[in-house]
Chains A and B, each alone.
Chain A
Amino acid sequence: MKQILVFLLFSGMFCWLMFSPVYKHVLVLRQALLQQEADYLLEVGASGRYGYIDETLIAESMARLEESGFEPDKLEYAVGSTSGAEAGNASMPLARGEGIKLIIRYPYDGLMNIDRLIGIEPEDDAFLSASGMKMSEYVP
């Protein structure tokens, strides 16, 4: 009887201890995947052939991330440049020397909800984000 009582008292904490590492691991992995994708997209976009990150490249990137279990609708891409010029225009690539900035954001998607078991309220509008800036190599 006493043991059952103790178990009930601790059950929330037990569940948190057993399952929260899995959730945290998924978060770490998603962050790593986002970062990997941001790096790849920058590598391609800043290469001598492109010099821009446009809708086509972003759509391909979304398709790649979808394979890893991301929902494409929730992904947010932001592309910019050091000079303030448009970096997403395929007809006007950024010339060599200018930096292309990229941020990919994805919501936590309820992965922090498990922390409610130990009394921590998750933030609603928090995002995972991966970013980077790389110098364009495009030579007209």
Chain B
Amino acid sequence: MHKLVFVVLMLTLWWLLQAVQLDEELALSVVHEGKRAVDRAAHAAAQQLDDEKLELGVLAIDSEEAAAAARLYLRENLRLEPDLTPRADGYLRDAVEVRVLDIVDETMPFPYVYRNEEYDYEVTFRRPGVVLIVNIVYPRVFAALPPIEWELKGAAELVY
């Protein structure tokens, strides 16, 4: 009898370790994918030129278009609905939240050091750019891990 109990206990332990291992492996790939999505969104947002200012010879970022582009690229890369809740075929379960979308415009003295104390983020811009910080909650497969969420940060400059 005690052998049977031992076997069952070992099975549970083995299964638990496997669950933790698999979940951590998946979490790593999700964080990498999230970071790529944030980088692509920030890059796309930073390329939205303000046409009216461009006519005057000023290279500036159109803030509305930048925000729209950032959301579009986040949605497409993370498979989200327009309101940033997960699509049915996506792998996330919780809505993605855009925490920070700051646009460093052309009036700043360059090189400009952007600092965000709240999220402990610092980046130097040589040109107008965009800072994007997004909150992503990892959809755990098993409850063997504590909840995981990330503040993924990305920045991009206007390229010309």
Contact = CB atoms under 8 A, between A and B. Distances in A.
Interface residues of B, number: 26
A119 interface: no
Nearest to A27: B22
Contacts, number: 53
A35 B103 CA distance: 30
A139 to B, nearest CB: 10
Contacts of B44: 99, 135
Contacts of A97: 47
Interface stretch (B55-63, B71-79, B112-120, B132-140): B71-79
B29 A31 contact: yes
Interface string B1-43: 0011001000100110010011001100100110011001001
B26 to A, nearest CB: 6
Contacts of A133: 40, 73, 76-77
Contacts of B18: 17, 21, 24
A132 B36 contact: yes
Contacts of A1: none
A21 B36 contact: no
A39 interface: yes
Contacts of B76: 82, 99, 101, 132-133
Given A35-B33, A99-B72, A133-B73, A13 B3 contact: no
Nearest to B90: A131
Given A13-B11, A17-B15, A135 B73 contact: yes
20 contacts: A17-B11, A17-B14, A17-B15, A21-B18, A21-B22, A25-B22, A28-B22, A28-B26, A28-B29, A31-B29, A35-B32, A99-B44, A99-B72, A99-B76, A101-B76, A131-B77, A132-B76, A133-B73, A133-B77, A135-B44
Nearest first, the 9 closest Cβ-Cβ pairs linking A and B are A133-B76, A135-B44, A21-B18, A28-B25, A32-B29, A134-B40, A132-B77, A24-B22, A133-B77
Interface of A: 3, 6, 10, 13, 17, 21, 24-25, 28, 31-32, 35, 39, 82, 96-97, 99, 101, 131-135, 137
